[in-house]
Amino acid sequence: MRRTPIVLALLGALAVTGCSSSGGQTAQSAPASSAAAPAGASFAVITHGAPGDSFWDVVKNGAEAAGKQYGVQVTYQGDGDPAKQSQLIDQAVSEKVDGIVVSMANPDALKEAIGKAVAAKIPVVTINSGADSSKAFGAITHVGQSEDVAGRGAGEQLKAAGVTKLLCVIHEAGNVGLDQRCKGAEETLGGTVERLQVDVSNLADVTSKVTAKLQSDKQVNGVLALNPAIAVAARDAIRDSGSQAKLGTFDLSGDVVTAIKDGEILFAVDQQQYLQGYLPITFLNLYKNNLNTVGGGLPVNTGPGFVTKDNAEQVAKLAEAGTR
């Protein structure tokens, strides 16, 4: 992917000041006075991630590490209900925080709340999903990956593995990014893609539904999960059904990395979600201190990359540390 010079410079600086040689732990030394925001600066991170979701735990880790690095207060809250997420944004506006980081799985539902933040002159950085609406809503930048590009990459990987009929498992209704992933995979697979709607909060039912589909349609020889917990449930379904279907997934967890090492999952599309927590706090800090904006009106990409059996061992150590 192309990155602007300022993004490369920022990432280089993060590599020096944000990580230790022992596996991605944030340095605890005090930042230079020129880098720290004024005393009392506070940033709110509000996502659509449910509490306990391993993916969003890593985003939270990144945001909190950046807060320590720059000496600012960072609060993290998540709710998968768009109405409740909007209320959390409204609450942050009423508290007059210095910046808001928000994921937009359902942009239309958040438009009014984000508009209130922008009207109150609170800078907003969007992350993870909703990139197409970020600029229009008034955010200063978006941090994440292109879901279309990532989906096409996943489709290419599955095609190379011989998949001709793919089951794309969608775990959050109304999440525009998930549909984009399936569409992207469909573009490059060259075969048939069928969607299966499941509920991420009921993993036993996910395993049951995927098992039933694999047993009823023997032509399905590939499964694409869009979430690490769904990937583990799909792996179990492939075992239970006796299917030989190839499995790929989006995003990482310790269980997913282990399954890749064991040959049970072909790959994980890695959007480096730690950066989706860390970079927005960095950008808001720069904006507050120096009115810097990053990206030039374009998203700052954190992925996609691919974790396969070739590099899973290295990534496993970082996943255990909570940074991948």
pLDDT single digits (tens) 306-317: 999 999 999 988
The whole-number pLDDT of residue 39 equals 59
The whole-number pLDDT of residue 322 equals 85
The whole-number pLDDT of residue 65 equals 97
The whole-number pLDDT of residue 28 equals 38
The answer to whether the beta carbons of residues 250 and 225 sit under 8 Å apart is yes
User: Can you say how many angstroms the Cα of residue 252 is from the centroid of all Cα atoms in its chain?
Assistant: 10
Q: What is the mean pLDDT of each run of 10 residues along the chain (324 residues)?
A: 42 39 36 51 95 88 97 96 97 98 96 98 96 96 94 97 98 91 97 96 96 97 96 97 97 91 96 96 97 94 94 88 85
Single pTM value for the model? 0.76
Q: Is the Cα dihedral 8, 13, 16, 22 positive or negative?
A: negative
How far is it, in rounded angstroms, from Cα 128 to Cα 133?
12
The answer to whether the beta carbons of residues 90 and 116 sit under 8 Å apart is yes
